[in-house]
Amino acid sequence: MSRYLAFDLGAESGRAILGALENGRLELEELHRFLNEPVRLPDGLYWDTFRLFHDIREGLRIAGRERRLKLDGVAVDTWGVDFGLVDANGEICLNPHHYRDSRNQGAYEEALAKAGREKIFAETGIQFMALNSLYQLYAARRAASPGLWSASRLLFMPDLFNYWLCGEQANELTIASTSQFFNPAAMRWSLALFDSLGLPKAVLGRVLPPGQRLGILLDEICSTCALDPVPVFTTASHDTASAVAAVPAAGDRPWCYISSGTWSLMGVEADAPVINEKSLEMNLTNEIGVEGKIRLLKNIAGLWIVQECRRQWLLEGREYSYAELTEMAAGAPPFVAVIDPDSFIEPGEMPRRITEFCRRTAQKEPESHAQFIRVALESLALRYRQVLEMLEELTGVRVEVIHIVGGGSRNGLLNQFVAAATGRTVVAGPAEATAAGNILVQAMGAGEIEGLTALRRVVRDSFYLETIEPRHDPAWDRAYEAFLRIKAA
């Protein structure tokens, strides 16, 4: 039996997940869970990066000192786009900002004006969002940040943690592809964009594929955590890339995926980037996955809206579990209103903002907490239908199966809504797709699994999957028409 440790860091929390692989089956166990809470400073919103690394070390300590495990590999995956800068001494000279930091919007607008929307998309094939790394880096330039010009290397979040774990500085391919300054067709950095925006090209380092042995856990960490020397792997370091690697598709029917969590990442797997006028118009993205596959996808606001409603009600003195919110929504009246999920990216006072949106669009306002959640879930399913139609139009292939993976796959009500809204078979699970993908890509790097097809076979053999068949309901078609009208307004 081999054992790999995955550190899976999401926008709300992180986990140390132990994977035991034997006879083609994978078993997962959570060793450590920790909060991931941003820090508001006078100059902006930051990730608490040092605290996160402390918790990564705590996960290693539990594995070594408490469980006395022998590990065959360690790897880190995180959300995309965010990064830190280190100087020639390897010290942090620009702390990682949170992608929701308000500085990004002005930088985004100015960078588009300078470099040109069409040129940026032709170079990168990445959908336009103010949070992308390109605009965060340009924001540092606009602010005349000294750290930008003293930096020796840009390290995305998993790259930074890998450096602190094993002392090696490198950029992993799947996370680099989220930046909007990596060319997925030429498989290289887009230096032309750096020239257009006056950014320092020297910070761009070597790019390594997922599933490569990067180094060995530092001696000090091994000693402190009572571990033998452990390989540190570049897994599919973007959490969505790990999740998509673990989509349990057999390939017998055309399929797409939804990696469901705070964000929903909905897309198809392609052999080459799709960069043309139509994909630019649709604002789709071409990110890189395992074995060089292209994740042609759309970022959608996901369960963030539910999370923010829950957070606001907690501030007001009413605490709900996510299970309670889902049960409440199931009993609420359908189609009270529809909203555009992607209009609610910013944090804070989510119920009030939904109410104002409904008032502005001449719709009935939700009257209870249950109705707010149902409106959010129904609208998310309708947005999935719209993106599904985009993907089918662009590829010319009718999708038959929608695989929903990640934590959001546990939301049975949303899964039912997706099947009803789209008229497609939904396969839900595994919920721990990201951790499973992280671990199994490590196993590929160790030579234990041969390729993506074999990896997905392990997933199918290891996890319970729920299949939901669609039942036609004309009410969903009427709601979709209303949704499209509101999106177009």
Is 479 a residue whose pLDDT tops 90?
A: yes
Angle of helix 369-395 relative to helix 304-315, nearest 10 degrees, comes to: 160
pLDDT tens for residues 431-456?
Answer: 999 999 999 999 999 999 999 999 99
Is 346 a residue whose pLDDT tops 90?
A: no
Strand partners, 234: 212
Cα distance from N-terminal residue to C-terminal residue, the chain: 57
| DSSP H or E segment with residue 16 | strand 13-22
What integer is the mean pLDDT of 224-251?
A: 96
| Same domain, residue pair 89 and 185 | yes
What integer is the mean pLDDT of 211-223?
A: 98
Is 277 a residue whose pLDDT tops 90?
A: yes
| 92 Cβ neighbours under 8 A, 6+ residues apart | 49, 84, 85, 86
| Same domain, residue pair 261 and 208 | no
Is 283 a domain residue? yes
| Same domain, residue pair 263 and 329 | yes
What integer is the mean pLDDT of 143-147?
A: 94
Q: What per-residue confidence (pLDDT) applies to 159?
A: 98
| Same domain, residue pair 97 and 188 | yes
| Same domain, residue pair 307 and 231 | no
Q: What per-residue confidence (pLDDT) applies to 397?
A: 96
Q: Where are the alpha helices (DSSP H) in 246-349?
A: 277-282, 304-315, 322-330
| DSSP H or E segment with residue 417 | helix 412-422
Is 457 a domain residue? yes
Is 438 a domain residue? no
| Same domain, residue pair 80 and 207 | yes
Is 445 a domain residue? no
Is 300 a residue whose pLDDT tops 90?
A: yes
What integer is the mean pLDDT of 220-226?
A: 98
Q: What per-residue confidence (pLDDT) applies to 347?
A: 86
Cα–Cα distance measured from residue 389 to residue 394, given in angstroms and rounded to the nearest whole number? 9
Q: Is the alpha carbon torsion for 98, 268, 74, 409 positive or negative?
A: positive
86 three-class SS = strand
Is 472 a residue whose pLDDT tops 90?
A: no
- Report which of 4, 25, 17, 115 is spatially closest to residue 459, judged by C-alpha positions: 25
| Same domain, residue pair 224 and 296 | no
Is 241 a domain residue? no
* Rounded percentage of the chain residues whose pLDDT exceeds 90: 96
* pLDDT category of residue 260 using cuts at 50, 70 and 90: very high
| Same domain, residue pair 182 and 264 | no
Q: What per-residue confidence (pLDDT) applies to 489?
A: 82
Angle subtended at Cα 451 by Cα 448 and Cα 452, rounded to the nearest 5 degrees = 120
pLDDT tens for residues 40-63?
Answer: 999 999 999 999 999 999 999 999
Is 27 a residue whose pLDDT tops 90?
A: yes
Is 416 a domain residue? yes
Q: Which of 145-149, 369-373, 417-421 has the weakest average pLDDT? A: 145-149
Q: What per-residue confidence (pLDDT) applies to 257?
A: 98
| Same domain, residue pair 210 and 283 | no
What CA–CA distances, in Å, run from 78 to 70, 82, 207?
24, 9, 17
pLDDT tens for residues 350-361?
Answer: 999 999 999 999
Q: Final residue of a domain: which of 202, 236, 270?
A: 236
Q: Final residue of a domain: which of 236, 256, 286?
A: 236
Q: What per-residue confidence (pLDDT) applies to 240?
A: 93
Q: What per-residue confidence (pLDDT) applies to 182?
A: 98
Is 470 a residue whose pLDDT tops 90?
A: yes
What integer is the mean pLDDT of 183-206?
A: 96
pLDDT tens for residues 351-408?
Answer: 999 999 999 999 999 999 999 999 999 999 999 999 999 999 999 999 999 999 999 9
Is 252 a residue whose pLDDT tops 90?
A: no
Is 434 a domain residue? no
| Same domain, residue pair 280 and 260 | yes
What integer is the mean pLDDT of 410-435?
A: 97
What integer is the mean pLDDT of 198-224?
A: 97
What integer is the mean pLDDT of 145-163?
A: 97
Is 72 a residue whose pLDDT tops 90?
A: yes
The boundaries of the domain holding residue 203 are 2-236
Q: Final residue of a domain: which of 236, 259, 278?
A: 236
Q: What CATH number does residue 334 fall under?
A: 3.30.420.40
Within 13 Å, how many C-alpha atoms sit on residue 317's CB side? 0
| Same domain, residue pair 133 and 229 | yes
What integer is the mean pLDDT of 213-227?
A: 98
Mean pLDDT of the chain: 96
Q: Which of 8, 82, 159, 239 is catalytic?
A: 239
Is 12 a residue whose pLDDT tops 90?
A: no
Q: What per-residue confidence (pLDDT) applies to 11?
A: 84
Q: What per-residue confidence (pLDDT) applies to 174?
A: 98
Structurally, how many domains does the chain consist of? 2
| Same domain, residue pair 227 and 280 | no
Is 440 a domain residue? no
Q: For residue 239, indicate whether it is catalytic.
A: yes
